[in-house]
Structure 1
Amino acid sequence: MFVLELTYTAPLDAVDAVLPAHVTWLEEQYEKGFFLASGRKNPRDGGMILAVAEDRTRIEEVVAGDPFVAAGVCAYRVTEFIATKTAPELADHRQTLS
């Protein structure tokens, strides 16, 4: 499982100009099963995404497709973790330690 932290690298007006394309991209990632939760940080200096993928390489490919990245308005920090405990709704994403 991955925590994706977005940090805006441009003024909010530049971020907002790309926001509709970013939201469309988010919806596509939910449909493909990559994203479990997402939202803005408070204060609004970026966002957070909880994601799943087979490996870090795949999640980095997904992130590279974000219109925010293409427009140069944000930077991503990708943190991988092993989700050994989850809420019942996320049981399909539980992992075991190797």
Structure 2
Amino acid sequence: MFILTLTYIAPLEEVDRHVPAHMDWIKAGYASGTFLASGRKVPRTGGFILAKGDRAGIEALVATDPFMVAGVTTYDITEVAVAFTAPGLEQLKV
């Protein structure tokens, strides 16, 4: 399991120009079964994605995010081993 943390490095006006393409990319991540949850940081300085897969595959996928291609965000990729969950979230366990 990976926690992908996005941090915007460009003004929001620039980020916003790439949101439609980024959202298509997000939807494809869900369709492939890789993404489990995602959303914005509050305040809006970036976002997060919970993802499953192997590190090389996740790194390759992150490189194709339109936000990365446009140079408006950075990613921090943290691998975690989920040991406990609330009821209903058992699929997050390793």
Q: Is TM-score (shorter-chain normalized) higher than 0.5?
A: yes
List per-residue Cα deviations over 1:48-96 (Å, max 9, x = no partner).
111111x21111011111000000000000000101122343323421x
Task: Confirm or deny that 1:81 pairs with 2:72.
Answer: no
TM-score, structure 1 normalization? 0.90
Q: Take 2:63 and 2:87, find their aligned partners in 1: how far apart are those partners?
A: 31
Q: Does residue 94 in structure 1 map to residue 93 in structure 2?
A: yes
Could you tell me the TM-score, scaled by structure 2's length?
0.94
- Deviation per CA, 1:13-45: give whole Å up to 9, x if none: 100000000000000000001111111101111
| Number of residue pairs aligned between Structure 1 and Structure 2 | 94
SS of match in other structure, 1:5: strand
Q: Report what 2:7 is aligned to.
A: 7
* Greater mean deviation of Cα atoms: 60-69 or 82-91: 82-91
Gapped runs of 5+ residues in structure 1?
none
SS in 2 for 1:79: strand
User: Superposition RMSD on alpha carbons, in Å?
Assistant: 1.0
Q: Which runs of no fewer than 5 residues in structure 2 stay unpaired?
A: none
Q: Which residue of 2 aligns with 1:58?
A: 57
In structure 2, the partner of 1:70 is 69
Distance between the aligned counterparts of 2:37 and 2:92, measured in 1? 13
Partner amino acid, structure 2, of 1:76: Y
2:55 maps to a residue whose letter is: R
| 1:59 match: secondary structure | helix
Residue 10 of structure 2 aligns to a residue whose secondary structure is: coil
